[in-house]
């Protein structure tokens, strides 16, 4: 069985050498062209977090681009407006953000302490969990703090991941996109440690080759507690049939 480990991510630094001024200019020009012509920027009307048809950004806080139904966005705006009136005026065991009886923190992200009914917190978690499935192009999201590597074998390969900048003790979902005509394909989960890291190269999933696959698959990562979707690199394991 052949084992070819290929790591996708940022390249390490090489030997030091003097770069001619003309070469620096050419590299800068090419980099600019690549960035401005990226599929995510050119193909989606609202950038890499453009929602699929029927969904809109939740906007629970500035920069919240988790895709939800229009009704949930309206509900979220109402909750933001009512939030201060649902706090204990004199604080409590959780400080000034302590909610009145019958309310809990919404937690669309760990720092979201808007006080809402328990059903709204459950809704926020559900919407975060489905964030990948509601994007127009999850494979066009930017590279985040997680990187994947592939160990190829005769029937496909095995995926590993490491990374940082995740929600401490949070669940991290992995998906593959660009597999034939199917949508995001769930590969499994890992749990970040107390510092928000996936230390070492942690096993994610075994991947089986698909004879109809014509190109590498993109691995997409979902930090569930934050609702944040990013990419972690590509793998050729789905192409590797023997």
Report pLDDT digits (tens) over 188-205.
Answer: 999 999 999 999 999 999
User: What confidence tens digit (pLDDT) does each residue in 107-164 have?
Assistant: 999 999 999 999 999 999 999 999 999 999 999 999 999 999 999 999 999 999 999 9
Give the torsion sign (CA, 165, 196, 134, 188). Answer: positive
User: Is the model's pTM score more than 0.85?
Assistant: no
Give the CATH fold of the 139-239 domain: Immunoglobulin-like (2.60.40)
Give the torsion sign (CA, 139, 141, 142, 145). Answer: negative
Every domain of the chain with CATH number 2.60.40.10 lies at: 139-239
Quote the pLDDT of residue 181. 77
Query: What's the token pair of residue 130?
Result: 């489905």
- CB-count burial class (<10 Å; 0-12, 13-18, 19+) for 226: buried
Task: Quickly state the pLDDT bin for 7 (edges 50, 70, 90).
Answer: very low
pLDDT at residue 18 greater than cutoff 90 = no
Neighbours of 203 (CB within 10 A): 13
Quote the pLDDT of residue 205. 97
Q: Which residues contact 89 (CB under 8 A, 6 or more apart)?
A: none
Closest CA to 218 of 151, 148, 145: 148
Q: DSSP code of 9?
A: S
Cα→Cα distances 28→32, 36, 242, Å: 6, 12, 40
DSSP per position, 145-183:
SEEEEEEEETTEEEEEEEE-SPPTT-EEEEEEE-STT--
Lowest mean pLDDT among 10-19, 66-75, 222-231: 10-19
d(CA 124, CA 117): 11
Look-up of token digits 């977090």:
49
Half-sphere exposure of 31 (CA within 13 A, CB side): 6
């Amino acid at each position: 069985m052949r084992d070819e480990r290929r790591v996708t991510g940022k390249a390490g630094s090489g030997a030091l050498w003097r770069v001619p001024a003309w070469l620096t200019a050419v590299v800068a020009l090419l980099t600019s062209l690549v960035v401005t012509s990226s599929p995510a920027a050119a193909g989606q009307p609202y950038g890499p977090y453009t929602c699929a048809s029927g969904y809109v950004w939740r906007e629970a806080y500035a920069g919240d681009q988790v895709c939800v139904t229009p009704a949930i966005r309206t509900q979220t705006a109402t909750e933001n407006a009512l939030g201060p009136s649902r706090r204990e005026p004199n604080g409590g065991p959780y400080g000034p953000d302590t909610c009145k009886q019958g309310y809990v923190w919404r937690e669309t992200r760990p720092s979201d302490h808007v006080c809402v009914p328990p059903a709204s917190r459950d809704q926020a978690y559900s919407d975060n969990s489905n964030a990948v499935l509601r994007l127009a192009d999850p494979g066009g999201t930017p590279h985040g703090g997680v990187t994947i590597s592939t160990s190829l074998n005769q029937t496909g390969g095995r995926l590993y991941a490491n990374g940082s900048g995740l929600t401490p003790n949070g669940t991290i979902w992995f998906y593959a996109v660009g597999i034939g005509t199917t949508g995001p394909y769930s590969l499994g989960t890992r749990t970040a440690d107390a510092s928000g890291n996936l230390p070492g190269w942690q096993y994610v999933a075994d991947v089986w080759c698909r004879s109809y696959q014509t190109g590498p698959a993109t691995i997409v990562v979902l930090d569930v507690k934050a609702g944040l979707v990013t990419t972690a690199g590509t793998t050729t394991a789905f192409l590797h049939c023997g």
